[in-house]
Structure 1
Amino acid sequence: MNTLLWILVGVLIYTSVAMALNARGVLPSSFRVSGPILTIHTKRGRAALEWLAQPKRFWRAWGNLGVGIAVVIMVGSFVAVLFSAFSAITAPEAARIARPQDALVIPGVNQFLPWAAAVDILVGLLVGLVVHEGGHGLLCRVENIEIESMGVALLAFIPLGAFVQPDEESQRSADRGGKTRMFAAGVTNNFLVTAVTFALLFGLVASLVTVVPGVAIGGTLPGSPASDAGDPGIDRGDVITAVDGQPVEDQASFDAALAEADREVTVELRNGETVTVQRRLMVTRAVVDAPFGTETTIEAVDGEPVYTQSEFEAAVSGNEVVELDTDEGTTQFPVGVFVSAVPADDPLGADGGAPDRPMLVHSVAGEPTPTPEALSTVLQETEPGDTVEVVAYHGDGDDPWSGERHVYEVTLGENPQGEYGYLGVGGIQQGTSGIVVDDFGIDTYPASQYHALLGGSGWGDDPVSTFISRTFAVLVLPFASVVDPNLAYNFAGFNGEISNFYSVSGPLSAGVVFGLINVLFWTGWVNLNLGIFNCIPSYPLDGGHILRSAVEATIARLPMEPDPAVATAVTVAISASMILSLLGMLFVPQLLG
């Protein structure tokens, strides 16, 4: 039985017990049960809100700022939700949310939110709910809207939200601007908390946290030499600091050390242990329909044994076609960068006459192009208008490896990315001829990249722009691998083995600093998402109420008698489209397989 099913069973049992107790009058009068939802009401705290609401001019200005922010996000969320729903219907296999439960902010149920971050997420959620509903309550008193009660709402034992319940009659009698400011106050407070917590987060990371030197190990590739290394082995959380006694600071120095090493290498780990690895060449990534798949071992090139990546690169260099011996057999292998598309309107297709199908581009202007990097280097030495000879291998279908040799005369076009020639190929894949090889087999964790996104690279020349760009980056870090498939790991805080990749300076221990940073990270992240979600223009969210006020204000300016029915119809239509789009995003990919 999976975790989600256990939770549903628990909620069902809780609901049955709560409803039975409520029916018998056992629960206090302040407790109200509506299915699995329990709300606890109180009238306490209203005096504190009265006192806080005294500088009314300030709070009205704050509310007006919030309305402007909310309207901008409402429009953006409306477009984003509709576009995402359309994409989920037309291309369900590419949907960002593959499982409906991934929309829930519940660690362990949502695959992007690990149990290790549960406490930090709960703290962020509680802070977000308190400041959100506190904003509503505060602006109620600023706009002279009476408060009937305040309290918290729970789904079973899970905090679902705090609430402020305005008096219905008092709310109806308030002016439209006052009600709009009241509804926008919650999300405005959430965004303020996000700004404060992220500023503190970036400052702490910049001043106290550094990346340890070496290569951070996120894991080892199945069947690779690193995974087969003997005791103590190489595991997630290890940091390689030296190769055969030569210190390594990062991935580049590690690759350089391996290129100079023998087949058998000894690596030193940060914890002082050493591991001996017997290298062999294996395929770690391959395009669809390649002659062989991942985990295939390449044993020889044209009869010469190869064990390392540098030996493989030297063996294929300058050759158009090589014979590869693998543990699966022998195959003829044209050497060239793999491209999946040749647009008919671009130089290679239009001027050269090359067909729009997958091909292996072996050379350009007589210079070999076995990899994307080599192709880029060759093109950077050309100019728009140059006529070059392009040698490529392709067939009549999608299998360029068994295709024939073709030569095309191409006049290069203007490159939109620089002042050099443009060939016009798309879908360029990493590696040689569509395969990526590795002789060691580690999957590195992007410790330096995440450290920079969290503030480790400083504030730059424009702190405001830097802060905004980092805020958007932090928003997607928990599911970074979905946004950028080149990132194999998501970031959910400095938890577990991940903390091994960083060191802390200053008087506080690493545990205290990482704990504080994790709370700031998740508090800001939850508040940002809470604010954005509540801006969706659909009832019963704040965005739905603001939408109604905006529609009423627009109709009031038209040369016609204001009709509440028209405002209701427009609001309901937009709200319904949002609800249907959200449901489409969550469930259509699964329904369509």
Structure 2
Amino acid sequence: DEAGIMPYDIITHVDGIEVPDYDSFSLQMDSLEAGDVIIFTVIPYSAEEGEWGISSEIPVTLGDKRQYYLDQCEGDVDCLSETNEVLDSYGIEEGEAFLGVSYPRSGTFQTEQFSVIFDDRYSSLQKIVIVTLTPLSMLGTPMSYDGQTMNIHERMMLEVDDDFILSPLGTGTMLSLFDFIFWLIWVNFLLGFLNLLPIIPFDGGHMVKDGTHSILSILMRDSNPLRVEKLAGSISGLTTIVMLVVVVIPILMLIV
């Protein structure tokens, strides 16, 4: 705030050098030091009007990144010791330039996070892990963004490239296609997750019943098979009731 850069403002240039994405912005920041005075070209965002204004140049004096985090301890010895260790582990040295802006990122971040498989910066193993975990993060996205598939402000920043295929379709069509694919994955993953709940007639319920039956068959090998089957069914039924009380009913109450 002190620098005059507010949430969703777009930084287009650093000392006259264009920074079209976060990587180029980070590269420019790495070449600077604490105390340097630089000129940011910024397109300000008006929360009241819901749109971006006219770009302007803002002079900013960069702070010391290491000192900034140490100052948060307010002189507490234990905090200073722990913070120094953390800063050392991250390789943050004294004099490293710091803008003081929380979570700066590219305007295309919302879509880039779903295109990791095409990013050469990640190894094959990293891509597999990220792609596997992405559906989990997607589950909370609509709740975080008021039912939207991405941050509405960052959505407004997106435009299609001058591609001979994408350009004729337009930004609106591509965003609609993105929304469709997002919700298709989201619904399918949610249904798959629900299907694993240990409740009959879901698959999770049958898995619990079959697993219980297998364990009881070992523990009660001398008992009548019908008795084992009945006991397994009773345990499975009890599990279903518990899950309904603990999980399903509270969710239904929230919806209603």
TM bracket (short chain): 0.5 to 0.7
Amino acid at match of 2:87: E
Match of 2:11, SS state, is strand
Cα distance between partner residues in 1 of 2:147 and 2:248: 27
State the partner residue of 1:444: 104
Paired residues of 2:145 and 2:152 also in contact (CA < 8 A): no
Q: In the alignment, is residue 225 of structure 1 matched against residue 6 of structure 2?
A: no
Paired residues of 2:41 and 2:55 also in contact (CA < 8 A): yes
Cα distance between partner residues in 2 of 1:448 and 1:476: 18
Q: Deviations over 1:371-429 (max 9, x none)?
A: 7333555xxxxxxxxxxxxxxxxxxxxxxxxxxxxxxxxxxxxxxxxxxxxxxxxxxxx
Paired residues of 1:475 and 1:525 also in contact (CA < 8 A): no
State the partner residue of 1:231: none
Cα distance between partner residues in 2 of 1:466 and 1:376: 23
Q: 1:455 aligns with which of 96, 115, 119?
A: 115
Q: Deviations over 1:540-590 (max 9, x none)?
A: 53422453355456656844212243123221333344345537997xxxx
The percentage of aligned residue pairs carrying the same residue is: 16
State the partner residue of 1:121: none
Gap change, CA 1:536 and 1:457, over 3 Å in 2: closer
Gap change, CA 1:497 and 1:448, over 3 Å in 2: closer
State the partner residue of 2:237: 572
Q: In the alignment, is residue 519 of structure 1 matched against residue 180 of structure 2?
A: yes
Any runs of at least 4 consecutive aligned residues in structure 1 with deviations exceeding 6 A, and if so which?
459-465, 488-491, 583-586
State the partner residue of 2:55: 274
Gap change, CA 1:445 and 1:266, over 3 Å in 2: closer
Q: Which has the higher contact order (CA 8 A, sep 6+)?
A: 1
Q: In the alignment, is residue 561 of structure 1 matched against residue 189 of structure 2?
A: no
Q: 1:531 aligns with which of 189, 192, 196?
A: 192
The residue correspondences of 1:264-303 to structure 2 (distance < 5 A) are 265-269=39-43, 273-277=54-58, 279=60
Paired residues of 1:453 and 1:470 also in contact (CA < 8 A): no
Paired residues of 2:87 and 2:93 also in contact (CA < 8 A): no
Count of residues in correspondence between the two structures:
225
State the partner residue of 1:394: none
Greater share of residues in helix:
2
Q: Which has the larger radius of gyration?
A: 1
Amino acid at match of 2:56: V
Match of 1:242, SS state, is strand
Cα distance between partner residues in 1 of 2:107 and 2:230: 56
Match of 2:200, SS state, is coil
Paired residues of 1:226 and 1:441 also in contact (CA < 8 A): no
Gap change, CA 1:468 and 1:375, over 3 Å in 2: closer
Q: Deviations over 1:465-513 (max 9, x none)?
A: 8356413223214537x9xxxxx98995356332355443432322212
Cα distance between partner residues in 2 of 1:225 and 1:511: 34
The residue correspondences of 1:112-131 to structure 2 (distance < 5 A) are none
Cα distance between partner residues in 2 of 1:439 and 1:464: 33
Q: TM-score, normalised by structure 1?
A: 0.30
CA shift at 1:531, angstroms? 1.0
Q: 2:37 aligns with which of 254, 262, 267?
A: 262
CA shift at 1:532, angstroms? 1.3
Q: In the alignment, is residue 476 of structure 1 matched against residue 176 of structure 2?
A: no
State the partner residue of 1:243: 14
- Which consecutive unaligned segments of at least 5 residues does structure 1 have? 1-222, 228-233, 280-306, 325-331, 340-357, 363-368, 378-429, 483-487, 587-593
Paired residues of 1:454 and 1:474 also in contact (CA < 8 A): no
Cα distance between partner residues in 1 of 2:201 and 2:84: 57
CA shift at 1:242, angstroms? 0.4
> How big is the alpha-carbon RMSD for the aligned residues of Structure 1 and Structure 2?
5.0
Greater share of residues in strand:
1
Cα distance between partner residues in 2 of 1:571 and 1:552: 9
State the partner residue of 1:372: 86
Q: 1:509 aligns with which of 159, 164, 170?
A: 170
Paired residues of 1:535 and 1:542 also in contact (CA < 8 A): yes
Match of 2:118, SS state, is coil
